[in-house]
A and B are shown apart, each in its own frame.
Chain A
Amino acid sequence: MSAVTVELEHKSFHSEHGEVQVLRPIQLQIHPGEFVTIIGPSGCGKSTLLKILAGLDTEYRGSVWIDGQKVVRPGVQQGFVFQEHRLFPWMTVEQNIAANLSLRDPQIRAKVDQLTELVRLKGFERAYPKRLSGGMSQRVAIARALLRDPKVLLLDEPFGALDPFTRAHLQTALLEVWMRKKITMILVTHDVDEAVVLANRIVIMTPKPAAIQAVIPVDLPYPRQRVDGAFQEIRNQILRALSDQGVWTAAE
């Protein structure tokens, strides 16, 4: 379980129209073992924020610490799950989970077997990604990140491309993983329900350049029922905050 401290001063991109500010100053303290979801309008810069946490983007002013250690480059400590599964198509499920680690190592072998069990992929260990559904592929991607025992798992709209049923199923699966492994999780989403189902705390971002608009704690027991009154209350709270931005439309 690890704490994440974010102290961001400035982040901008260079385009042909000159410098475009993407992120305003952001301060955020994430507690060990906490599940935080970040929600905001499309293109607000929340994915950029996650890439900064991962060490994939280092062109910014400010710093990110994990357990007091500054993040300067990507690595297995900051596990990352992308919106697309990004599996290696030439590797089978178990080879993808192991990737650069050797399956012949009995320790790795045992952990891979454990993880395929955890993400419910038993029987598909030898299948190539082309045979997997979107949900299965994403579960492989999660297992791949978990094998490295990350201090924090960063998820960038991991279920955004899935149908509602698969999405709900994977949310449950992810919660199960989180409760068993007690890993700090930060998940970016634009799905309000998803944010409430998963999080201990929900961070609402403003439109670009993004800053934290509000942080909403969710003190509901897991598993959470969407029809529950308290659930609806928090859901409405988020929707109100987002509609204050003037970007929330009925279509979303």
Chain B
Amino acid sequence: MNPSNQDAVYPAVGMSRNAASDRAVTRLSHPRFQRAFAGRGGKLLQGASLPLVVLALWQVASSLGWAPETLLPSPVNIVRALADLVSTGELVHDIEISLLRALFGFLLGGTLGFAFGMAAGLSKHFEGFTDPTIQMVRTIPHLAITPLFILWFGLGEWSKVLLIALGAFFPLYVNTFTGIRNVDAKLFEVARILEFNRLHLVTRLMLPAALPNILLGLRLSLGVSWLGLVVAELMGSSAGVGYLIENASQFSQTSVVFVGLLIFAAVGKLSDSLVRWLERRLLRWRDSYGG
């Protein structure tokens, strides 16, 4: 249909609504926009466009002297600080330490959370014994428990890893449990008819059925691990990205603080993308709305 024809058919639509907003909507859904955001690279561009605009405005504001350097350093200076930290090897070392802490904490807490979630999901008895306690402990905020962990385990690595583990435990526990309990009773009936043994009941029915929930738990647990890491490192440490931030703020090196935040954001996003990739691979069979 040619445009003039369209106008002739729908003249009243544009008039009845706010004409300006209508035009804006039309422009965003314009083929040229859709073409620009099509494909893999386009998706990246679409996701990056908002931060890029903010970054540009920020740099302009800093260059014009609207923002004091000690409060809001310019993006260029932050990049410079990043380059310095990389060249001295300091940053790589800090990231390494932080990653190890988060990984160990996550593995410890996540594995236990998954195991407890499975056990509670499979056994009413186990659930009856453990779930009330777990739900109670779950409501205690991280920050409130930190002083206790320092008293118990000192300022060393253990208190940090355990704090992260504690945080990582709950999302995987709750979601694994929910996943197991949501398995379709009709499929259970099929499994009974086909004479599944206990092992197959778990590996071929419950685990795959609960997988979407388990992966959600995994994603949330990873996020919480990262959060726990910040709390753990800010409370006192001599290395790590949290330490980098804490130390820099003592000396008013605001650009370094921003570098630390940047690292947290980047690694957080990376781990999240990893789980999403896992989801796409493992849940190919799912028949759900893709957006």
A binding-site residues for B, Cβ under 8 Å: 54, 56, 73-76, 78-80, 82, 84, 86, 88-91, 99-100, 128-130, 144, 148
Contacts and interface: CB of A to CB of B under 8 A. Distances in A.
A88 B194 contact: no
A104 to B, nearest CB: 14
A100 to B, nearest CB: 4
B186 interface: yes
Contacts of B75: none
B205 A88 contact: yes
6 contacts: A74-B192, A86-B186, A88-B208, A99-B204, A100-B204, A130-B287
Contact of A75 (B187, B193, B211, B284): B193
Given A56-B189, A90-B209, A90-B211, A100 B285 contact: no
Contacts of A80: 193
Closest 3 CB pairs of A and B: A130-B287, A90-B208, A100-B200
Tell me whether chain A's interface is mostly helix, strand or loop, or mixed: loop
Contacts of B284: 128
Interface in B175-211: 186-187, 189-197, 200, 204-205, 208-209, 211
Contact of A84 (B186, B194, B211, B286): B186
Contacts, number: 58
B4 to A, nearest CB: 44
B193 A76 contact: yes
A150 B170 CA distance: 45
The majority secondary structure among interface residues of chain B is helix
B197 A88 contact: no
Given A82-B186, A84-B186, A89-B285, A74 B204 contact: no
A132 to B, nearest CB: 10
Contacts of B205: 88
Contacts of B287: 89, 128-130
A105 B160 CA distance: 49
B208 A148 contact: no
Contacts of B189: 56, 74, 86
A78 to B, nearest CB: 7
A54 B190 CA distance: 11
Contact of A88 (B192, B193, B204, B286): B204
B196 A100 contact: yes
Nearest to A99: B194
A53 to B, nearest CB: 12
Contacts of B192: 56, 73-74
Interface in B252-291: 284-287
